[in-house]
Amino acid sequence: MKNTNMKNNNTQEQDTMAAIGIGAMIVFIALILVAAVAAAVIIQTAEKLQQNAQSTGEDTTDEMSGKVQVLNVFVNDGAESYEIYFRLAAGSDDTADTDILWQVSCDDGAGAFQYIAGNFGDASGGSVIDLGDNAAGDVDDVEAGTAYRYTLDANDGNDCSPDALFAANVKATLYIHVVGGGTTYDILKVNDATEGAVVV
């Protein structure tokens, strides 16, 4: 009799220990699943933040480097146009002349607004000349690190030419935009309308 009771007790004890073990295993698996979900959320958030930061950095780089630096502006062609000396900002990619846009706006001295626009590839506006290689003539691609000149016809329909600015004693605003890049602007003030004079 004694022996039978002991066997029953042993069996019950073993069953109880097995149930505790299964419960512990379920809790362990649940902890692993929760940790995996939390890790996935953290990794996904970090990846999104990194992509946003990279995109913002690239956009900022394009805006800062994809830009035209105006070196100097002179009166040209009987005070009807401007000779612009320029180069691309450091770190810029090579840019097609048609992707460099310009706008000039001015007051005619009587309160009327004048506005003209074009791009550096306009045949009517002039051509982009490489200062280091004048023999090359008109260039289609503007390269970083090279200086160029461009003749901007400022009397095309509306008149913001050096002669008109000088006569009316007004200023003009020159905007130069690079497609996919930044914008440069300069104030043009003509103190002397003779050809070759510096425009401030």
Comparing 19 with 145, which gets the higher pLDDT?
A: 145
User: Could you tell me if 178 and 68 are in contact, meaning their C-beta atoms sit under 8 angstroms apart?
Assistant: yes
What is residue 131's predicted lDDT score, i.e. its pLDDT?
A: 77
Q: Mean pLDDT in the chain?
A: 83
Q: 41 is in which domain, residue-wise?
A: 1-65
100-136: per-residue pLDDT in tens?
Answer: 999 999 988 787 888 898 898 876 556 788 877 665 5
Based on the domain organization, do 6 and 100 belong to the same domain? no
Stretch 147-168: mean pLDDT, rounded?
88
Read off the CATH number of the domain in which 73 is found. Answer: 2.60.40
Pair (80, 162) in one structural domain? yes
User: In this predicted model, what pLDDT tens digit does every residue of 127-138 receive, in sequence order?
Assistant: 788 877 665 567
Please report whether residue 198 resides in a domain. no
* Residue 112 to residue 54: CA distance in whole angstroms: 45
**Is the domain of 20 the same as that of 72?**
no
For residue 178, is pLDDT > 70? yes
Mean pLDDT of 23-49: 92
Same domain, 79 and 150: yes
Determine if residue 97 is left, alpha or beta; phi over 0 gives left, psi from -120 to 50 gives alpha, anything else beta.
Answer: alpha
Q: Are residues 73 and 159 in the same domain?
A: yes
